[in-house]
């Protein structure tokens, strides 16, 4: 059917437009149908435009309240509808949802430009901003005023004539290109299957991986064992499968996504994206897209990011080379006479780790039953922040795998709704993320509590076993839960300041600090029991886990840095991109490379973080935030990992504050000082391999 012909727009018949008579006004997912989205968005777009026009056409003298706060509140219904659509497009999509998203994205870009490029509206905001020294405003009010004014400037408000028109064209095209990039990766991921019918080809795989593959094949009405490019299936096969040719096949399928000679190829999309971002930055007076982005980041400019990445590279490179030589020697000892390839790394690394520490990840999985891990994460939030979690089956969910919880504060007051959605499926993008369906706010005393989602792609339960997580999946859950805490504990006035609406190189602090608890025996003892015997995780196994934590930390750091170098290379170009995507990529990451390039493989064409997400010129932020989280957790280690005073300070100064002040000011309020890099080097075991780093955050 034509999406344009949909007419379900009456507020009484369209659940997206009607009042949500659900617990805590959560989305009525069971009532929402595909045909509701287009008319709901068109109606709410008209309403939002009318709200903006009311500000523009007002004859009242521009004030902070009637202009800046009024603008902050424009489009609340539109935001409500689109948040549902975009969450579904990531977590439970199909061809129709994708088509709807493609159709509405240009309209949303046009509306955004209608605001940011409106001369009359900007003149009113500018009039208020010009009085900033005379206004009696709170710290958060002042920050909002500054952000609104700079937001206009950074969105082309000062452009004129052809430049203004071109800016609007660029932003619209970029929104479409990013969507298409993500759709292509999802299609390529779903489009590959490795069906094994010979049991000998399963050699080396743990029983849990084999059973999951058998169940996957059965779900597709196929005989044998089915492996895919989705997280748990791919990573397990690459780590344990003895058949080298099959590991190679799977690796090449994974690393060629978006890089094949078909309609899902992302190469031209990348050229267009980076070239358009450069043109947009130039229009706004910046040399590169990175210069434009970093002007509102802790790092401030590309040189500081480059220095930061280079210093970490110097620290990790010696360790990475040493680790590579150790794996090569081990593989030769194991009988591998061929040169070590990328598809051999996880396989031999896991065996070496087992040999070195007596630690096999399969040993800990029986102690990490998903439901128990969730209990442990909830209990951690209880001990740190006094939170309680109660499942509410009356809250509608968008898929049967998702569960909904009510979250309450220590005094019993309601804080948030939290959706948890753990297992991979064809309608879900890969990876793991947190998002909000509704941000927290308290404008004019009207308190609105947030609705938060955590979406992952974890190991599914089988017919005989529950979902048993790898250690990496445990840390992933802690990571995303940290983001969720940032959203759930938000205590700001304005939604644009709430939760994770902070500088991109600061947003990973609340998430990454949570990962530190994963190796703390005191926390593990709260929940980590064997799913069959009920036995607590043994102390010696935890000790092996701790000893193995920094195994190949140099290699891991170099790999992460390679993504940061690549991101910065793409976004510091000063001329439009016209050459080979893979040649550009290989040049950018050459300093961190440990293997020869693999023909037919490309990272960029599946690098959704920077081409379909919000991390363009910001991927370095993961390592940047590691410095912050290691430094911050050192305070917990000193005072006790459940210390309530430390947790309260972190909550009040970091989690509740969101983007109400500059992040360094917030961090210093918690820590009492700027972060140092020593705790990170010590935690990762790199200090002994490196010189003292000189970069300061």
Give 434-443 pLDDT, tens digit per residue.
999 999 999 9
Strand order across the beta sheet in which 388-391 lies? 388-391, 403-408, 414-421, 451-455, 433-438
Cα 501 from chain centroid (whole Å): 13
Among 366, 365, 378, 361, which residue's Cα sits nearest to residue 526? 378
Provide the 8-state DSSP code for 228. Answer: -
Count of alpha carbons within 13 angstroms of residue 266, beta-carbon side:
32
Residue 687: predicted pLDDT: 66
Q: Is the dihedral of CA 111, 112, 113, 118 positive or negative?
A: positive
Residue 693: predicted pLDDT: 40
Distance CA 500, CA 482 (A): 10
Residue 477: both structure tokens together? 């859950």
Residue 11: predicted pLDDT: 61
- H or E segment to which residue 540 belongs: helix 539-548
Burial class (CB in 10 A: 0-12, 13-18, 19+), 28: middle
Mean pLDDT of 482-497: 98
Distance CA 431, CA 100 (A): 23
Alpha helices (runs of H) in 284-400, residue ranges in sequence order: 289-294, 302-333, 342-357, 361-364, 370-385
Provide the 8-state DSSP code for 300. Answer: -
Residue 7: predicted pLDDT: 44
Distance CA 344, CA 238 (A): 8
Residue 644's DSSP bridge partners are none
339: pLDDT strictly greater than 80: yes
691: pLDDT strictly greater than 90: no
Among 538, 615, 534, which residue's Cα sits nearest to residue 570? 615
2: pLDDT strictly greater than 60: no
Provide the 8-state DSSP code for 390. Answer: E
Provide the 8-state DSSP code for 621. Answer: H
Q: Burial letters for 250-271: b for 16+ Cβ neighbours within 10 Å, e otherwise? A: bbebbbbbbbbeeebbbbebbb
Count of alpha carbons within 13 angstroms of residue 584, beta-carbon side:
20
139: pLDDT strictly greater than 60: yes
Task: Catalogue the active-site residues.
Answer: 480
Binning pLDDT at 50, 70 and 90, where does residue 358 land? confident
Residue 689: predicted pLDDT: 46
Q: Measured over all CA atoms, what is the biggest interatomic distance in the chain, rounded to whole angstroms?
A: 82
Mean pLDDT of 236-248: 97
Residue 10: predicted pLDDT: 61
Mean pLDDT of 122-141: 96
Residue 686: predicted pLDDT: 77
Among 404, 387, 405, 406, which residue's Cα sits nearest to residue 655? 387
Residue 269: both structure tokens together? 């999309």
What CATH number was assigned to the domain covering residues 3-158? 1.10.1370.40
Binning pLDDT at 50, 70 and 90, where does residue 685 land? confident
CB contact at 8 A, 237 and 210: no
CB contact at 8 A, 592 and 623: no
Binning pLDDT at 50, 70 and 90, where does residue 5 land? very low
697: pLDDT strictly greater than 70: no
Q: How far are the Cα atoms of 98, 105, 179, 241, 526 from residue 173, in angstroms, in the given order?
A: 16, 9, 10, 43, 50
695: pLDDT strictly greater than 70: no
Distance CA 92, CA 426 (A): 8
Residue 677: predicted pLDDT: 80
Q: What is the mean pLDDT of the chain?
A: 94
Distance CA 321, CA 227 (A): 32
Distance CA 616, CA 639 (A): 37
Alpha helices (runs of H) in 400-496, residue ranges in sequence order: 471-488
- H or E segment to which residue 209 belongs: helix 207-219
Q: Which value, in Å, is the radius of gyration of the alpha carbons in the chain?
A: 25
The string of DSSP codes covering 164-206 is: HHHHHHHHHHHHHHHHHHHHHHHHHHHH--EEE--GGGGTT--
Binning pLDDT at 50, 70 and 90, where does residue 361 land? confident
Residue 678: predicted pLDDT: 82
The 3-state DSSP class for residue 359 equals coil
6: pLDDT strictly greater than 80: no
Q: How far are the Cα atoms of 141, 189, 203, 423, 431 from residue 231, in angstroms, in the given order?
A: 43, 10, 20, 10, 7
359: pLDDT strictly greater than 90: no
Read off the pLDDT of residues 263-273 as tens digits, 9 standing for 90 and up: 999 999 999 99
CB atoms within 10 A of CB 387: 21
Distance CA 246, CA 218 (A): 21
- H or E segment to which residue 100 belongs: helix 95-116
Binning pLDDT at 50, 70 and 90, where does residue 382 land? very high
Residue 9: predicted pLDDT: 52
CB contact at 8 A, 380 and 403: no
∠ Cα 518 664 156 (to 5°):
115
Residue 467: predicted pLDDT: 96
Domain with CATH 1.10.1370.40 in the chain: 3-158
Residue 455's DSSP bridge partners are 421, 433
Q: What percent of the chain has pLDDT over 70?
A: 97
Phi, psi angle pair for 448, to nearest 5°: -120, 120
Q: Burial letters for 557-576: b for 16+ Cβ neighbours within 10 Å, e otherwise? A: bbbbbbbbbbbbbbbbbeee
Mean pLDDT of 25-52: 97
Q: Which of 84-88, 240-244, 498-502, 549-553 has the lowest mean pLDDT?
A: 549-553
Burial class (CB in 10 A: 0-12, 13-18, 19+), 199: exposed
Residue 3: predicted pLDDT: 43
Phi, psi angle pair for 384, to nearest 5°: -80, -45
Alpha helices (runs of H) in 549-662, residue ranges in sequence order: 553-570, 581-589, 608-611, 621-639, 644-650
Does residue 384 or residue 681 have the better pLDDT? 384
The terminus-to-terminus CA distance of the chain in angstroms comes to: 54
610: pLDDT strictly greater than 50: yes
Distance CA 471, CA 361 (A): 7
Distance CA 418, CA 499 (A): 14
690: pLDDT strictly greater than 70: no
Residue that the structure tokens 């940290």 belong to: 482
């Amino acid at each position: 059917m034509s999406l344009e012909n949909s007419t379900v727009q009456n507020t009484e018949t369209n659940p997206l437009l009607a009042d949500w008579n659900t617990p805590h006004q959560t989305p009525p997912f069971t009532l929402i149908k595909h045909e509701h989205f287009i008319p709901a968005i068109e109606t709410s777009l008209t309403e939002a435009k009318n709200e903006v026009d009311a500000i523009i056409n007002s004859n009242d003298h521009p004030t902070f309240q009637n202009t800046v706060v009024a603008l902050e509140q424009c489009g609340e219904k539109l935001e409500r509808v689109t948040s549902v659509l975009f969450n579904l497009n990531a977590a439970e999509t199909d061809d129709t949802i994708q088509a709807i998203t493609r159709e509405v994205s240009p309209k949303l870009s046009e509306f955004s430009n209608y605001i940011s490029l409106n001369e009359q509206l900007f003149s009113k905001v500018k009039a208020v901003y010009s009085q900033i020294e005379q206004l009696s405003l709170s710290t958060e009010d002042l920050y909002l005023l500054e952000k609104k004014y700079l937001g206009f400037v950074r969105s082309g408000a000062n452009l004129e004539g052809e430049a203004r028109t071109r800016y609007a064209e660029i932003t619209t095209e970029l929104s479409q290109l990013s969507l298409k990039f993500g759709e292509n990766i999802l299609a390529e991921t779903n489009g590959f299957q490795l069906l094994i019918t010979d049991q000998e080809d399963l050699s080396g795989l743990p029983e849990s991986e084999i059973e999951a593959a058998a169940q996957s094949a059965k779900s597709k009405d196929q005989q044998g064992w089915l492996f895919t490019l989705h997280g748990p299936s791919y990573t397990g096969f690459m780590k344990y499968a003895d058949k080298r040719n099959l590991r190679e096949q799977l690796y090449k399928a994974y690393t060629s996504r978006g890089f094949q000679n078909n309609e899902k190829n992302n190469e031209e999309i990348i050229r267009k994206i980076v070239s358009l971002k450069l043109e947009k930055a130039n229009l706004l007076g910046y040399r590169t897209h990175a210069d434009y982005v970093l002007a509102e980041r802790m790092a401030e400019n590309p040189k500081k990011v480059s220095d930061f990445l280079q210093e970490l590279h110097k620290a990790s490179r010696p360790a990475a080379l040493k680790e590579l030589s150790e794996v090569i020697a081990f593989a030769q000892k194991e009988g591998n006479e061929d040169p070590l390839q990328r598809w051999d790394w996880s396989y031999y690394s896991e065996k070496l780790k087992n040999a070195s520490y007596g630690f096999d990840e399969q040993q800990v999985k029986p102690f990490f039953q998903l439901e128990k891990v969730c209990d442990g994460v909830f209990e951690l939030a209880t001990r740190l922040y006094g939170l309680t979690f109660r499942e509410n089956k009356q809250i509608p969910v968008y898929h049967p795998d998702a569960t909904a919880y009510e979250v309450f504060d220590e005094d019993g007051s309601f804080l948030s709704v939290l959706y948890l959605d753990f297992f991979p499926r064809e309608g879900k993008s890969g990876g793991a993320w947190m998002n909000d369906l509704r941000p927290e706010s308290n404008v004019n005393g009207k308190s609105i509590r947030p609705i938060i989602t955590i979406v992952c792609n974890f190991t599914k339960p089988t017919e005989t076993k529950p979902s048993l997580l790898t250690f990496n999946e445990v840390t992933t859950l802690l990571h995303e839960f940290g983001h969720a805490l940032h959203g759930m504990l938000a205590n700001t006035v304005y939604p644009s300041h709430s939760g994770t609406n902070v500088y991109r190189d600061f947003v990973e602090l609340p998430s990454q600090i949570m990962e530190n608890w994963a190796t703390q025996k005191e926390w593990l003892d709260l929940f980590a029991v064997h799913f069959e015997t009920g036995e607590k995780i043994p102390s010696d196994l935890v000790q092996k886990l701790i000893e193995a934590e920094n195994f190949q930390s140099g290699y891991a750091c170099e790999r992460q840095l390679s993504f940061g170098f690549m991101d910065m290379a793409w976004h510091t170009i000063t001329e439009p991109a016209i050459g080979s995507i893979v040649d550009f990529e290989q040049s950018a990451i050459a300093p961190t490379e440990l293997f020869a390039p693999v023909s037919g493989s490309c990272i960029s064409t599946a690098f959704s973080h920077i081409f379909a997400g919000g991390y363009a010129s910001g991927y370095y932020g993961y390592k940047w935030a590691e410095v912050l989280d290691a430094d911050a957790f050192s305070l917990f280690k000193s005072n006790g990992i459940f210390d309530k005073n430390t947790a309260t300070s972190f909550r009040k100064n970091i989690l509740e504050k969101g983007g109400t002040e500059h992040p360094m000011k917030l961090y210093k309020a918690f820590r009492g000082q700027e972060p140092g890099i020593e705790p990170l080097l010590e935690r990762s075991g790199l200090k002994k391999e490196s010189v003292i780093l000189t970069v300061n955050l």
